[in-house]
Amino acid sequence: PIPKNFTIHGVWPDHTDYIMYDCNPNKEFKKIYDKHLLNKLESRWPQLTSHEYAGLNDQTFWKYEYEKHGLCCEKVYDQSQYFDIAMKLKDSIDLLNILTTNRIVPGFQYSYTGDQISSAIKRVTQKDPNPKCT
């Protein structure tokens, strides 16, 4: 089922001089077996392209994101810490609440500019968001 709130797509380390991805093609994602961690990940970072059972078993999307982006910060954060940071970030910002508090509500019957969405987020987070719509 489609979540009723925003979820995590990925966490990308950043560098001021260059884009960071595919930093260590010789290392791989380690499959996660901890049931408690899997349940936390599934609720915050669901693998929307597969059924829950398949996602929890195959972990394809988490593997992709970690190998593409997470390995770029492995000298600072190991795989477990990478996923923990992602969930802590998700839990620290209730994006749906921020938007609805600023009268920006989901649905096809409404439309908003990128500036309206960015301004609402910045009022709460004090950071310049970088929303992208498709």
Let me know if 9 is a catalytic residue: yes
The one catalytic residue in 36, 52, 67, 69 is 69
The one catalytic residue in 15, 28, 36, 65 is 65
Cβ-based neighbour number of residue 47 at 10 Å: 21
State the first-to-last Cα distance of the chain, in angstroms, to the nearest integer.
Answer: 20
Let me know if 15 is a catalytic residue: no
Contacts (Cβ under 8 Å, ≥6 apart) of 59: 29, 31, 32, 47
The one catalytic residue in 9, 15, 51, 67 is 9
Name residue, tokens 């195959």.
Answer: 58
| Catalytically annotated residues | 9, 65, 69
